[in-house]
Amino acid sequence: MTLIPSSKLASAPSLLSPLPCINKPISQKKIDSVLNHHIPGLTSSERIMASHIVGYPRMGPKRELKFALESFWDKKSSAEELEKVAADLRASIWKQMADAGIKYIPGNTFSYYDQVLDTIALLGAVPPRYNWSGGEIGFDTYFSMARGNASVPAMEMTKWFDTNYHFIVPELGPDVKFSYASHKAVNEYKEAKALGVDTVPVLVGPFTFLSLSKPAKGVEKTFNKLSLLDKILPIYKEVIADLKAAGASWIQFDEPILVMDLESHQLQAFTKAYSELESSFSGLNVLIETYFADVPEEAFKAVTSLSGVSAIGFDLVRGAKTLDLIKGGFPAGKYLFAGVVDGRNIWANDLAASLTTLQALEGIVGKDKLVVSTSSSLLHTAVDLVNEPKLDKEIKSWLAFAAQKVVEVDALAKALSGAKDEAFFSANAAAQASRKSSPRVTNEAVQKAAAALRGSDHRRATNVSARLDAQQKKLNLPILPTTTIGSFPQTLELRRVRREYKAKKISEDGYVKAIKEEISKVVKLQEELDIDVLVHGEPERNDMVEYFGEQLSGFAFTANGWVQSYGSRCVKPPIIYGDVSRPNPMTVFWSSTAQSMTKRPMKGMLTGPVTILNWSFVRNDQPRFETCYQIALAIKDEVEDLEKAGINVIQIDEAALREGLPLRKAEHAFYLDWAVHSFRITNCGVQDTTQIHTHMCYSNFNDIIHSIIDMDADVITIENSRSDEKLLSVFREGVKYGAGIGPGVYDIHSPRIPSTEEIADRVNKMLAVLDTNILWVNPDCGLKTRKYAEVKPALQNMVAAAKQIRTQLASAK
């Protein structure tokens, strides 16, 4: 019996393509009509198998939410218009999953900015500086916490576990007053129900929420965050009661912190929290969802022992060892939500292998207690292959985006129930075989060169102190040299030029002329501001990873494969499908052009191998470190060509080095060894007088500071201001750093313009723990997402602060 069209999934019409706003309930007759398109004669209650999606992308297939948010922030549209776009997206996603046959459809996974920020709003945990006066939290307070405003900075933002998604970090102390201040979860449940879709409301669990928070200023070393469980659980109970009253029969609590290394007192707090909530679970099915890694044995015991919990979800893609724990004993009567479809990558599922795993699990937990699920939220993958008509057909057959993964989950659930679509499984098996045998995947010369790297640690011959002396003689920089991180604002006109060139609407000569004019403007502006080490502004680049991937072999690209990074910011990760090499120089022309426009040092700007790896969808048919070494060799060729072209300062960004750190400490050393080695490979062949910079952002670096030192860069610029200068604490604790370092002096992810005094105060704090002769002055990150009206005064104040302190230091001698 054919349940799904037998054509290849990638070329089939999408079940999850955008739909117009739904303003009336979906009738049972309509649902059965859609379902019978696949299985004539079956009603929806018979066809809907045990299938579940942990979460779904919220930006929309064409980034509808991004554009609506930015229009609202720019005061070009109203709150009502933003809310309508959001409602249309939610309705479309819910209906699409219902039509696809998913039984447990997630609700409350939509967010205007971030799910942790939504939880901050839910609990009324607004820091005092935002002057919130109580009541339901509105857009003003919500977006002020996310982005800052004219008078106060934004809350800290950091990476969500080991993904490229960023969350807003809760700031909590003993005096915080919690209150039920956002009814978003219940409102969205009612909204879906009115459309005929019964969703599973998803909440960030109380244990994960507190574990990911940071102590408020003044209590950093003394405050136990988990002591606040007693204060937030009553609010969770109110939310649960509201959802139950609205008709919810299932609630999902996301507790991914359970995959981390936890101490016994933390697990005791987790158990206590859910024991306390148990009385409110009466009449409900409760799912605790974990993802991103194996669940350690003690955490597995803790979560499976909870009497009030009906179901537990595990990532069985990145957490394959969890299978052994399940086989060793899973509690009778509980549902197992088996995450066998990868929520973090874009490769088509090996359906035959997944079905074998599911059948083995069925023998352990029972047929009626097994639910097929994704390994994590699909937030971390692209939306829909249907939006990729120009993608190479062979490569496309190897892929599955979020929409296709929903269909994979449904197909596995039906196969498990005995209604296997043989044609669909056969097409999948053919695609798997095609990928394994395709000659475009393997380049023996590249594999041989990468394998040869393991015999050396690839360090520069001279120590960093001697190199800095040689570089200073050549560059002649002042103390506290100023620079920026790389990109300058990408104007609408600039984006238009790139878009039209790509569409062949303007000639190559016209494109080069336009980009040169933009570079000239950026260079002149920096000279006017009196910045010491310049950048060309990267006007030719769409994205710091995609730009390089487009010029490397082994990469494929999408037109609409966007993934949310934070807020409205989306990235379009390249797809690494084969061995990587560099056919031609990638940046030399533009960097040389920019250097010819100024006598000041011009940085060559490259993205490092670890960041290219961690910000791409990476092939899963070989170890990640092998792919990273291949990329490192390609970047090494580029570094050496830049040096030959007369570029004396080269920045190799490793913004995502910390992000790739495994979640479990036992795996840290291996990852850091090959990641740091990959960076050193890129620049081991340059002269002492060539200054190598790197840049890192939005992660907790303190626990890997010794690996950062081991990278052996001449200068590192690193995010600092948005995280309340947390980075400086590692130097206060006695870590010695002899290379150049530029902790960011202002947050570029906020439109707020810092004053000269504020920046000078930050620099003085840095000078209290860092030597004058190694400190650089720079923003937190690149300026691509900002407007010139914000950038010019901010940089003007930054340079003024540096000059002010130089004068003070000179007069103090």
* pLDDT tens-digit map of 387-425: 999 999 999 999 999 999 999 999 999 999 999 999 999
User: What's the rounded mean pLDDT across residues 77-94?
Assistant: 98
What CATH number is given for 51-73+81-379+391-437 in this structure?
3.20.20.210
- Alpha-carbon span 735 to 707, nearest angstrom: 12
- Whether the CA torsion 551, 554, 558, 562 is positive or negative: it is negative
Pairing of strands 691-696, 617-618: unpaired
Q: Of 314 and 706, which is predicted with more confidence?
A: 314
Low-confidence winner among 72-86, 132-146, 454-468, 729-743 (lowest mean pLDDT): 729-743
- Alpha-carbon span 81 to 71, nearest angstrom: 10
Residue 437 has pLDDT above 50, yes or no: yes
- Alpha-carbon span 469 to 726, nearest angstrom: 29
Please report, for the chain, the start and end positions of each structural domain, with discontinuous segments joined by +. 51-73+81-379+391-437, 460-812
Residue 730 has pLDDT above 80, yes or no: no
Do 679 and 708 contact (CB within 8 A), yes or no?
A: no
pTM of the model: 0.88
User: What's the rounded mean pLDDT across residues 298-317?
Assistant: 97
**Predicted local confidence at residue 732, as pLDDT:** 72
> CB pairs under 8 A, 24+ apart, for 147-155?
147/73, 147/567, 147/749, 147/750, 147/751, 148/747, 148/750, 148/751, 148/752, 149/752, 150/752, 152/752, 153/721, 153/722, 153/747, 153/750, 153/752, 154/722, 154/747, 154/749, 154/750, 154/752, 155/117, 155/127
Confidence of residue 729 (pLDDT cuts 50, 70, 90): confident
- Alpha-carbon span 293 to 667, nearest angstrom: 12
- Name the average pLDDT for the chain: 91
- Alpha-carbon span 288 to 292, nearest angstrom: 14
User: What's the rounded mean pLDDT across residues 268-272?
Assistant: 98
**Predicted local confidence at residue 733, as pLDDT:** 73
H or E stretch including 471? helix 464-475
**Predicted local confidence at residue 812, as pLDDT:** 83
**Predicted local confidence at residue 337, as pLDDT:** 98
Asked if CATH classification 3.20.20.210 holds for the domain at 460-812, the reply, yes or no, is yes
3-state secondary structure 280-332: HHCCCEEEEECCCCCCCHHHHHHHHCCCCCCEEEEECCCCCCHHHHHHHCCCC
Confidence of residue 722 (pLDDT cuts 50, 70, 90): low
Residue 45 has pLDDT above 80, yes or no: no
Q: Of 199 and 22, which is predicted with more confidence?
A: 199
Residue 25 has pLDDT above 90, yes or no: no
Amino acid identity, position 685? G
Residue 805 has pLDDT above 70, yes or no: yes
- 554-571: pLDDT as tens digits: 999 999 999 999 999 999
Beta strands in 590-714 (DSSP E): 603-607, 617-618, 649-653, 691-696
Beta carbons within 10 angstroms of residue 389's beta carbon: 10
- 89-147: pLDDT as tens digits: 999 999 999 999 999 999 999 999 999 999 999 999 999 999 999 999 999 999 999 99
The reply to whether 51-73+81-379+391-437 and 460-812 are identical in fold is: yes
Cα 43 from chain centroid (whole Å): 40
Do 763 and 721 contact (CB within 8 A), yes or no?
A: no
Active-site amino acid positions:
749
609-648 residues labelled b (16+ CB within 10 A) or e (exposed): bbbbbbbbbbbeeeebbbbbbbbbbbbbbbbbbbbeeebb
Beta carbons within 10 angstroms of residue 239's beta carbon: 22
Cα 763 from chain centroid (whole Å): 29
